[in-house]
Amino acid sequence: MMQEINFDGIVGPSHNYAGLSPGNLAATRNAGATAHPRAAALQGIAKMRANLALGLPQGILLPHARPDHAWLAALHLDYAGAPGHLKARAFSASPMWAANAATVSPAPDTGDGRCHLTVANLVTMPHRSHEWPATLAQLRLAFANPHFAVHPPVPAPFGDEGAANHMRLCARHDAPAVEVFVYGESGGPFPARQHRDASETVARAHRLDPGRTLFVQQSPEAIAAGAFHNDVVAVANERVLFAHEQAFADRQGFFADLRRLLPEVEIVEVPADRVSLADAIQSYLFNAQLVTASGGTQTLIVPAEARGNAAVWSWLQDHLAGNGPIRAVEVVDVRESMANGGGPACLRLRVACDPALVDPRFLVDAAKLDRIADVIAGHWPEAIAPDAIGDPGVIAQVGRAHRALYEALDLVGLLNS
């Protein structure tokens, strides 16, 4: 019964554009704009509905309580007295990007036959560095069955940003895989967020076979162009790797290793003379969900911005008209997330397991999504302007919204932990 489940982060009611993420071009470009948390969260729900329509199991991860008073207390501050830059970092809704929640190694890949998850430390960015305790609490509840091993984060200073820098290639989701950890070493003016030491630590914790584990350097050109995570320039699903020509520092060496370990691999590489790095990053062509829909069709779920980019859309149409492994493209509207630098892939954490082993409160069907949408429509702020981040009325509304959602899902104990 092993299936790949997409656990999407529900966009939190404090969603705003504070421009906290250097290297994330969309986030910095839109700093100071007015955000629309209600629309953002409902866009995420619509994306989950589209996944269900493709026959995919769907899960959720919940927004964290904001502001993060515990983090501010550790800085010997309260919210009212905190300087503006720390208020913004304590108020961020960044846990919505569940691809950064953890790295996941399903049972067929691990030495003990358990599914291992290591929570990402996210130490490179201050506004994300305090996410991991709440993420760890959620994952330990969702995956409390002994089949799972949920690990605390890699210690600082080794930056780990989770599944956004990890790919799993295999014949089928229930077959042993080649696990690929992508790390950075330099990125021009921008920090390389994933450290090789962190990736190697995760691989040891997950008891992976060193002979089927690859550590691959992301190209400095990609990082400098705004590919702050590997999933901005590459994505994998089962036997298919879909990547930009300039994604990796040693693409030929990586591809040779991959073909040696997984002879059936199909590498779909988009040439730079068809789609530039700038177009790939603007459109988030690769920050797509590459999934196996019911019936076995390899399907690429792209943001509407990909359809709006002439070079990207032309390449996609040519690929679909040919004999490549990606046979369908679905377009979703996640424009509020995109404006903060997160596409369809950023919003989800992939876990291949038997759904019966997961706490059912973290799994959704159409009816549960209806209930969640009702809570969002009734409680999420319609808009948050940049000068409203410290507004007591907004803070109170965000707190009520969090509690309403956690109560509706019978998870209020997590909010109080």
What would the 3-class secondary structure string for 66-78 be? CCCHHHHHHCCCC
Determine which one of 115, 245, 336, 346 is catalytic: 346
Q: Is 305 a catalytic residue?
A: no
Determine which one of 4, 161, 245, 336 is catalytic: 161
Name the β-bridge partners of 102.
Answer: 119
Radius of gyration over alpha carbons of the chain, in Å? 20
Write phi, then psi, for 390 (nearest 5 degrees).
Answer: -100, 10
Write phi, then psi, for 316 (nearest 5 degrees).
Answer: -60, -45
Number of Cβ within a 10 Å radius of residue 14: 29
Residue 172: left (phi > 0), alpha (psi -120 to 50), or beta? beta
Write phi, then psi, for 323 (nearest 5 degrees).
Answer: -115, 30
Number of Cβ within a 10 Å radius of residue 413: 10
Give residue 36's Cα distance to chain centre: 20
Measure the CA–CA gap between 321 and 277, rounded to whole angstroms. Answer: 23
Give residue 64's Cα distance to chain centre: 15
- Structure tokens given for 62: 């919940």
**Rounded alpha-carbon distances, angstroms, from residue 170 to 75, 187, 295:** 45, 30, 18
- The helix/strand/coil state of 8 is strand
Q: Is 346 a catalytic residue?
A: yes
**Active site amino acids:** 161, 229, 346
